[in-house]
C-alpha cells in the first residue's frame, strides 16, 4: 500500500502541473480469483477507464512467510504473458521468489532482502542472489531488496515513467514535514532528496543502485550529464555534502545494514562495497560510526532472525492472493 500511495502522490503532482483531468499514473492491483487461473482479475483501479493494460508489474513482498513453493501456475503464466507483450516486471524483497518461478531471471543477478537470500539461492540455484545491491536494473526486469527499499524503488519507477522533475517533487512531498530528516530508508542515513536539482537526483539514484561502491567523480559527472566542476558545486548545494562524502555515507549505511543482518562476514561486506581488504573497511567504518564492525554487530545484530520469525506479525499480504501492483 505504501507504493500505491507513493504513485498516487506522483500522479496527483503530475496532473496538477499539467492541468489535466486524467491521472498521469494508473495504479491497479491484480489477483487470481480461483487457484490456477491463467488470467488475473483487477481488484483495484485508481483511475477506471476501459480495460487496464499495465506496462509495469510489481510483485510485492510477503509480510509473514516466504511465498509458497507451489505458486499457482496461472500467476506465473500471467506474468510471463504480460512480460512477452512488453510489460516490465519488478520484484521487491521476497517477491523475487515468484519472479524466479517465471524463469525470466535465470542466469541473472537478483536483489532481495538478506533474510530471504539463503532460501532463495537454494530454491533457485540458476539465479545469482545479490544482497549487496538495493536495486538491480536489467531494463525489462528490475529487482530490489533491503530495509525500506520500496521507497527507493518507488522513486526509481517514478523517475523512469514520469521523469526526474516528477521524481524530485514526489520525494519532496513524501519526505517533507517535521520528520523529514528522520526518513531512514538507508540504515542511519537519510539521503537529502527534497531538493529540485534533477541532475543531482539522477546521480544520487545512480550511487544508490551501486551502494556507493566503485564510483568516481568522473563517473558521477557522466551519470549526471554535468562537468566535474559543475557537479561538485551543484551536488554540495543540493545535499550539503561533497559527492565523495555522499558515497561514503551510502557505503557506511549499507555496511551497517549488512552487519545488523548478522550473516554476512566482514570480508564479504568489504569486498561487496569495494574496500581493498577487511582492515581498510574496518578503519573506514570505525571513523564513520565510532565503533569497530565487530563491536557494532554484537550490539545491533539481528542474528537468529529467519523467515519463521515473521509468523507473529500482525499483517499478512499473500502473494498468491494479491500478486501484483501495476503502474500504467
Q: What is the mean pLDDT of residues 131-140?
A: 88
The residue among 84, 83, 91, 87 whose CA lies nearest residue 124 is 91
Query: What's CA 160's distance to the chain center, in Å?
Result: 14
Confidence band of 22 (pLDDT split at 50, 70, 90): low
Is this prediction's pTM over 0.75? no
CA–CA separation, 208 vs 62, rounded Å? 24
Q: Give dist(CA 256, CA 307) in Å, integer.
A: 20
Taking residues 66-93, report their average pLDDT: 88
What are the pLDDT digits (tens) for 184-199?
456 667 788 778 788 8
CA nearest to 256, candidates 296, 203, 223: 296
Helix axes of 243-261 and 114-123: crossing angle, nearest 10 degrees: 70
Give the C-alpha separation, 228 to 232, whole Å: 6
Q: Which residues contact 26 (CB under 8 A, 6 or more apart)?
A: 11, 45, 46, 47, 49, 52, 327, 328
| pLDDT score at 39 | 79
Contact between 134 and 208 under an 8 Å Cβ cutoff? The reply is: yes
* CB distance 88 to 142 below 8 Å: yes
18, 197, 211, 290 from 268: Cα distances, Å: 48, 35, 14, 21
pLDDT in tens, 138-171: 999 999 987 678 888 998 999 899 988 888 888 8
Q: List the one residue out of 42, 119, 39 whose CA is nearest residue 76.
A: 39
Under CATH, to which class is 2-150+315-327 assigned?
alpha beta
pLDDT in tens, 26-65: 999 998 877 666 778 899 999 888 888 899 999 988 766 7
* pLDDT of residue 230 exceeding 90: yes
pLDDT in tens, 266-313: 998 898 888 989 999 999 999 988 889 998 888 877 544 444 443 333
pLDDT averaged over every residue in the chain: 82
Q: Return the pLDDT at 305.
A: 45
Mean pLDDT over 84-107 rounds to 95
Looking at the DSSP bridge assignments, the partners of residue 92 are: 144
What is the structure's pLDDT at 235? 94
Q: How far apart are CA 20 and CA 23, in angstroms?
A: 8
- Is the pLDDT assigned to residue 316 strictly greater than 50? no
User: Residue 309: its pLDDT value, please?
Assistant: 41
pLDDT at residue 149, rounded to an integer? 83
Give the pLDDT confidence score for residue 322 in this predicted structure.
Answer: 42
Query: Residue range 93-120: average pLDDT?
Result: 91
Amino acid at each position: 500500500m505504501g507504493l500505491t500511495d507513493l504513485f498516487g502522490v506522483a500522479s496527483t503532482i503530475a496532473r496538477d502541473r499539467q492541468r489535466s483531468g486524467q491521472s498521469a499514473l494508473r495504479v491497479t492491483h491484480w489477483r487470481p480469483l480461483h487457484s490456477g487461473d491463467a488470467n488475473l482479475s483487477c481488484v483495484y483501479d485508481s483511475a477506471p477507464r476501459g480495460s487496464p493494460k499495465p506496462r509495469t508489474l510489481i510483485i510485492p513482498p510477503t509480510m509473514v512467510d516466504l511465498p509458497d513453493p507451489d505458486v499457482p501456475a496461472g500467476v506465473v503464466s500471467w506474468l510471463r504473458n504480460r512480460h512477452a507483450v512488453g510489460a516490465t516486471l519488478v520484484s521487491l524483497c521476497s517477491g523475487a521468489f515468484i519472479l524466479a518461478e517465471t524463469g525470466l531471471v535465470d542466469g541473472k543477478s537478483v536483489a532481495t532482502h538478506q533474510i530471504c537470500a539463503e532460501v532463495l539461492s537454494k530454491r533457485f540455484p540458476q539465479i545469482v542472489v545479490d544482497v549487496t545491491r538495493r536495486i538491480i536494473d536489467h531494463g525489462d526486469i528490475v529487482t530490489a531488496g533491503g530495509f525500506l527499499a520500496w521507497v527507493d524503488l518507488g522513486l526509481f519507477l517514478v523517475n523512469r515513467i514520469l521523469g526526474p522533475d516528477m521524481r524530485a517533487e514526489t520525494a519532496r512531498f513524501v519526505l517533507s514535514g517535521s520528520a523529514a530528516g528522520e526518513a531512514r530508508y538507508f540504515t542511519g542515513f537519510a539521503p537529502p532528496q527534497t531538493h529540485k536539482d534533477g541532475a543531482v537526483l539522477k546521480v544520487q539514484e545512480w550511487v544508490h543502485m551501486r551502494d556507493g561502491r566503485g564510483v568516481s567523480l568522473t563517473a558521477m559527472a557522466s551519470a549526471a550529464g554535468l562537468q566535474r566542476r559543475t557537479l561538485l558545486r551543484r551536488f554540495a548545494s543540493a545535499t550539503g555534502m561533497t559527492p565523495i562524502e555522499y558515497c561514503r555515507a551510502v557505503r557506511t549505511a549499507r555496511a551497517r545494514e549488512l552487519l545488523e543482518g548478522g550473516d554476512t562476514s566482514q570480508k564479504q561486506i568489504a569486498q561487496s562495497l569495494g574496500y581493498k581488504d577487511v582492515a581498510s573497511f574496518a578503519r573506514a567504518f570505525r571513523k564513520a560510526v565510532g565503533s569497530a564492525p565487530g563491536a557494532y554487530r554484537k550490539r545491533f545484530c539481528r542474528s537468529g532472525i529467519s523467515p519463521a520469525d515473521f509468523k507473529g506479525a500482525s499483517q499478512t499480504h499473500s502473494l498468491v492472493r494479491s500478486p501484483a501492483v501495476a503502474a500504467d
